[in-house]
Amino acid sequence: MKPIYHYTTVSEALNNLNEMGFTYDFNINENEILKNPHQHEVKHIYRYEGDSDPGDEAIVYGIVSSSGKKGVFVAGFSANSDNQAAIILAKLCIEGSGQCEI
50 pLDDT higher than 90? no
56 pLDDT higher than 50? yes
98 pLDDT higher than 50? no
Which pLDDT tens digit goes with each residue over 74-83? 988 655 556 7
71 pLDDT higher than 80? yes
Q: How far is CA 64 from the centre of its chain?
A: 10
% of the chain at pLDDT higher than 70: 73
71, β-bridge pairs: 24, 63
Q: How far is CA 20 from the centre of its chain?
A: 14
Distances from the Cα of 43 to the Cαs of 11, 36, 84, 94, 99, in angstroms?
18, 17, 19, 13, 7
- For 38, the 3-state DSSP assignment is helix
Q: What is the pTM of this model?
A: 0.78
CA–CA gap between residue 39 and residue 94 (Å, rounded): 15
